[in-house]
Structures are given as structure tokens and as C-alpha cells.
Structure 1
Amino acid sequence: MPRRSYDQYCAIARALDTVGDRWTLLIVRELLAGPRRYTDLHADLPGVSTDMLASRLRDMERDELVTRRRLAPPGVAYVYDLTPQGRELLPVLSALAGWGGPALGERRPTDAVRAHWFAIPLMRRLRPLAAEHTGAVEVRLPEGIFHLLLGEGRIAYRDGALEYADARLALDAATCRELADGELTTEDAVLAGRLGVTGDTPLADAVRGTQVGVATMS
């Protein structure tokens, strides 16, 4: 099927020709954590139909945002992974998270939630630490666990727990949202008992005591 276009000689319109369809950027959000199987993507994109997800993934392969590959033996499943071009959308999602964060408010009864959906907003908050520290931060919410990798001014996230982490954070979704939006400092969250930080490392100490501000990803 030919790709639909706005037919406008505008960089924004060209970008939306590729990523403006419903679900595309949320698929990118999921794949920024690393390769995912189709079934895993479907499980963490509540509300998307199987036909829609398959169609979007085909479109994203065509547009060279994702690749599909088979796992090495003994694995038999296929996984989807972002291309370098797809990973360049991280600053776009970071900006959207910053813009949309204040609209979250209280969680609605119909709202689905996954722990790793807070990763990109939290990355904005903790990115200043990546300029001075290298290490891994495990983040544990009641809904699940993800971890952040810091170093050389960069920060990335992955799903799941770590055997070793320089710092381990325990908090709930509301606290994570307030930290990401700048309503709450990490220091105040620790003092209020809303954020638990464990680890005897400079990175853990920085999370406990540094009032880092929101930064724009680049």
C-alpha cells in the first residue's frame, strides 16, 4: 500500500508522513528498550489490534525505522529492533513526554500503565547525572522494573532488573510522575519517604542529594 503523504514541502510534514500514524511513536517507545517479540509488543500496547500492530510494523520496516530478525538458535522467535534512524526519535519522544506530562494528572480508572512508560520522562530528569557519572540505575515500581544506563553524557533505558546496579530506586507511579515533571526533587522525595535509594556508590549519593532539573534530550 502506498504511503499516505501530506504533500507539503515542509520538514514537519515529511516527518509526520512517516511517524504521524496512530501507534507508530508508541511502538518506537517500546523498542527503545531493546528488541521485542511481536507478542511482547502487543502485550505492552493495550488497545492496539493485532491487524493494526502488524500493519504498523510493516510500514515501519518499509520506512527503515525497524528491522525484523530471527533469534539465534535455540530461539525460534522473531524480534523487532529499531534502526539507527528509529533511535533518533528518542529526543522527539522525550520532548513529547515533557509537553504531555502536566496533562497526566491523576490516573483514570480506564488508564493502563506499565512501569517502563515512565522511563523516558525520568531520563529527562536524571540526564544531568550522566555528564558526571557512569553506571546503572534500577528503577522498581509496583507495576514492574526497568533500568537506566548512564555515561558519557548519554542515558538509555532497558526493561527488567539487574544483577548489579550502582543505585536502586523504589517508588510508585505518582512519585515518578512528579519527579519527571519537576514537581518534586529527588532529595525531597527521599526525605518524604516516597523514594527509596539503595547503593553505596557516588551515583547513588548523587541521586539522593542532587536536585537535578529537567533537561531536554539531544
Structure 2
Amino acid sequence: MKILILGGTAEARQLANRLVALGHDVTTSLAGRTQDPILPEGGLRMGRFGGIPGLAAYLRAAGIERLVDATHPYAGQISINAVAAARATGVPLVRYMRPAWEQAVGDDWMTVETAAEAARALPCNADVLLTTGHTGLEHFLERDDCQFVVRTIEAPAVEMPRHATLLRTRPPYSVSDEMALMEREGTTHVVTKNSGGAQTAAKLEAARRLGVKVVMIERPAYGPALEVASIDAAVDALVLG
């Protein structure tokens, strides 16, 4: 079976490796935003498709039989395009969506819908660990009444102002390391997206133990698709569905 995986996550790579091992013809598409990504087995495509028409044209030209959206839960437009392109071509779409984090006893969370709303929710003089990625930073950096540690994998396009420090690291993170970072920086607030997964969940446990407030940006809605929450379920949906 010819399968296109819209990737960029560890789960996308794991899924591609599983499917290749099962004998399927798998191509993973990466947007190209991450330098030196860990590559999956199978074919590889780098760069954008050119919107819905471009993705639909690729599905037809390559003879793709199954489309998988295994991008980040906040990938945005590509997930919207996947729904439309699948509908236009008749190619079945499976969306892998890792389970969201859930608030636990002892958590102090404020849930918001957008980065702009998260930035407005911060009180004056907050010391913020910002872990929302390299997009949408302008909403936060306008808050020159707060101090930010901006943690990203890739360098953002914007220059850090005087009230922000860039910290470039790659997960996974441990609870002890996250606690040490928050204590060293005097963190009062963590701002994050509800990405789910184990690699970056330690910040939530660290915040819970230290009494640090969390501003949690909710996930967007992308439209109808067969949605699964595990690699095994994704393989079953593709192979047996």
C-alpha cells in the first residue's frame, strides 16, 4: 500500500518505521522547519505542497492510497489542508493525535484558546518559562512588563528583546531538570500548548511540585477524520481499515 505520512513528530517516525517493516511503500513529508531532523525509514519529501490544490495533486500523481496526518497537534494549516485534500481525492485520512495532558490534583492551570489570550493572561512582573515554540512569540514579547525564558528547539526569526532570554534545547526533559530550571530562573508561570506526550510533560510535574502557575493553550479543531491515539491503532486503521 502507498502511504503518505505528514510527519515531523516522533510518533510519525515510529509509525513510518512500523509500516515500512510491514512492507508498505511509505513516504514521510516534512515541512523542513527543523534542522537535522531524525529521519524515518522509507521515502522522504521535504517542503510545502502549495496548499490544498498542491497536496491533492500530489496524492493523485503519486498514487497515494492512504493519507496520515501525524503532525504536531498545533501544526495548523497543514492539518486543515489534509482534511480538504482527502475529501477532494477520496484518499482515506487517518489522523494520529497523541492524548492531551489532563489537569491533576495540585495543578494550577488557566486554560485559554490562543497565544494572544495567553499573553494577556500573564500578570505584571511574571517570570515566565515560555514553551510554545518559535511561532506566535510576538504576542508575548510585547509584554515588556514580564521576564521570559523562551525555550525552543530552533532559533526563532525574531530577535530577543532585553526582557527575554533564548534557551535552545531539545526534549526529552526530566522532572529534576525542569525543577532546577524553574528554581534558577524564579519562574512564576509556565506557558505551554497542550501538546501531550511524555517528552515534554515533566514541566507540568515540576510546576505542580513548585506551585508554579500554568497557562495552557487548548488544541485547535481540524475537522473530520478517523482519529487514533496510539501507533498500534494507527497501524490497524491503515492496514485493516
Q: TM-score, normalised by structure 1?
A: 0.29
More strand by share: 2
Q: Which has the higher contact order (CA 8 A, sep 6+)?
A: 2
Higher-Rg member (1/2): 2
Bigger share in helix = 1
In the superposition, the TM-score normalised over structure 2's length comes to: 0.27
